Amino acid sequence: MKNIFIKNKYNADSHGHFEEYGGRYVPEMLIPALEEVERGYNEIKNDPVFMEELMDLFHNYSGRPTPLYFAKNLSDYLGGAKIFLKQEGLNHTGAHKINNCLGQALLAKKMGKKRLIAETGAGQHGVATATVAAKLKMKCKVYMGKVDYDRQRPNVFWMEQLGAEVVPVEHGTQRLKDAVTATLQDWIENVDDTFYLLGSALGPHPYPSMVRDFQTIIGLEVQKQLKEVYEIDRPDFIVACVGGGSNAIGIFNPYLEDEKVGLIGVEAGGKGVGKIGNHAARLQKDPKIGVVEGYKSYFLQDSDGQLQNTHSISAGLDYAGIGPEHALLWKKGRVKYQYAADKEVIAAFKLLAKKEGIIAALESSHAVAHAIDLAKKLDRNKNIVVNLSGRGDKDIFIIAKVLGDEKWKKFLKEESL
């Protein structure tokens, strides 16, 4: 792959507006920092040396290209369309997040920065950031709400082992929102040597576009693999789960102008999309525009613009906002946004494990759940590509609990003695 930077008609304008969405709604003090990141990002787009170094890291450090695997057992069992799985879970650290972290960290290094800062909710982005900081010999500080910090001890432990300093944020609601505030404060104070490494295709310009570009490697590999391995010109459908939206936009991006390919994003339906607080499906019922965390998009909010509580069985999709490019693609009807409920997600997780020997992340299992429904309605000559954004090892605590595994409970008790 020589270049991941591709243009299409849905791209943001030079101010980061995806029509009415996106932009840069931040305090004046942050503008110079964002402009510096934007300049750096624009420079590397035409820098073959950067591209070569990034590809080397993708290839030799993260293990790319990840396989595009024909799930024959599952497809045969369902009796409909053929399902292909893009195995992002086989990346180093177990998910697509490392693509973006390697890209941004390499850019930070080119810009002469010595220190990476990030905020993380469940901790997956923190682990990926701490990983690339170690690899690229940079200092790393990760902010977490105190509530998340206490709940996510396994990820905090790994971040510490990787050499990062993890800071529990004790003010406000002690959640992700407060961690974002603390990270921005750190950035303002230390902008000379510090780079803010943002974890999904959202936030103020240029992050939504930049994160998309670093994740576009997923879609570009799918194009190549479909042709070279399976002699398929284009898939009929691509299905991906949507938290902030980075794995989805990464696999969709090369196909956005190819209208023959149906694109489907799957949101977290949680315990049902009917009730506030039970889900994280922002685009299902009467979406509401707002400006939060530096960008304009759709957010789960009440009439005063206060963010609503969300719920999902998967930590990675449990977020009230969605990246601005997805807002545009929804409005244009280019991508259809569906949802999967927790129960369907667990069923899909179990079926994939039994039929293919693949333990998928709960986030990715949302996409699998939708693909299972879709495949059943289609003929064998149709092809569905599912972005399997991560592997499920990290979810053992949640899944064993949901499945009520008694021996697991006993194991936890004995381990804690």
Ligand X SMILES: *Cc1c(COP(=O)(O)O)cnc(C)c1O
Residue 225 binds to ligand X (criterion: CB under 6 A): no
Q: Do 242 and 317 meet the contact criterion of CB atoms below 8 Å apart? A: yes
Which H helix or E strand runs over 179?
Answer: helix 176-190
Active site (annotated) includes residue 416: no
Say which of 75, 82, 88, 97 is annotated catalytic: 97
CB of 158 to ligand X, least distance (A): 14
**Choices 77-85, 186-194, 223-231, 241-249; region in contact with ligand X by CB under 6 A:** 241-249
Q: Do 167 and 139 meet the contact criterion of CB atoms below 8 Å apart? A: no
Residue 31 corresponds to which tokens in the numbers above? 């503008």
Q: Do 301 and 288 meet the contact criterion of CB atoms below 8 Å apart? A: yes
Name which of 243 and 290 has its Cβ closer to ligand X. 243
Q: How far apart are CA 63 and CA 102, in angstroms?
A: 12
Name which of 12 and 191 has its Cβ closer to ligand X. 12
Token pair 């994939």: residue: 352
Classify 287 as helix, strand or coil.
coil
Which H helix or E strand runs over 132?
Answer: helix 124-135
CB of 322 to ligand X, least distance (A): 8
Interface mask (CB under 6 A) for ligand X, residues 116-155, using x and -? --------x-------------------------------
Pairing type for strands 165-169 and 139-145 reads: parallel
Name which of 102 and 191 has its Cβ closer to ligand X. 102
Positions 352 through 391 that interact with ligand X (CB under 6 A):
361, 363-364, 389-390
Positions 55 through 114 that interact with ligand X (CB under 6 A):
95, 97
Q: How far apart are CA 199 and CA 202, in angstroms?
A: 8
**Choices 138-146, 242-250, 291-299, 403-411; region in contact with ligand X by CB under 6 A:** 242-250
Active site (annotated) includes residue 97: yes
CB of 301 to ligand X, least distance (A): 19
CB of 355 to ligand X, least distance (A): 20
- Secondary structure letter of residue 231 according to DSSP: -
Interface mask (CB under 6 A) for ligand X, residues 157-176, using x and -? --------------------
Positions 305 through 324 that interact with ligand X (CB under 6 A):
316-317
Positions 6 through 65 that interact with ligand X (CB under 6 A):
none
Q: How far apart are CA 361 and CA 270, in angstroms?
A: 15
Dihedral in degrees, nearest 10, Cα atoms 211, 212, 215, 216: -150
Pairing type for strands 21-22 and 262-270 reads: unpaired
**Choices 46-54, 133-141, 237-245, 282-290; region in contact with ligand X by CB under 6 A:** 237-245
C-alpha 113: how far from its chain's center? 24
- 291: region left, alpha or beta (phi > 0 left; psi from -120 to 50 alpha): beta
The only residue of 66, 247, 301, 312 in contact with ligand X, by rule CB under 6 A = 247
The only residue of 197, 226, 242, 273 in contact with ligand X, by rule CB under 6 A = 242
Name which of 164 and 317 has its Cβ closer to ligand X. 317
Q: Cβ atoms within 10 A of the Cβ of 130, count?
A: 29
CB of 313 to ligand X, least distance (A): 12
User: Which of these, 128, 123, 61, lies nearest to 94 by C-alpha position?
Assistant: 128
CB of 239 to ligand X, least distance (A): 13
Residue 244 binds to ligand X (criterion: CB under 6 A): yes
Say which of 62, 82, 113, 119 is annotated catalytic: 119
Active site (annotated) includes residue 389: yes
Name which of 210 and 248 has its Cβ closer to ligand X. 248
**Choices 245-253, 272-280, 329-337, 341-349; region in contact with ligand X by CB under 6 A:** 245-253
Classify 208 as helix, strand or coil.
helix
The b/e string for 233-246 (b: 16+ C-beta within 10 A; e otherwise) is: eebbbbbbbbbbbb
Q: How far apart are CA 69 and CA 250, in angstroms?
A: 18
Positions 171 through 210 that interact with ligand X (CB under 6 A):
200
Active site residues: 97, 119, 389
Contact residues: ligand X, CB under 6 A: 95, 97, 124, 200, 241-248, 316-317, 361, 363-364, 389-390
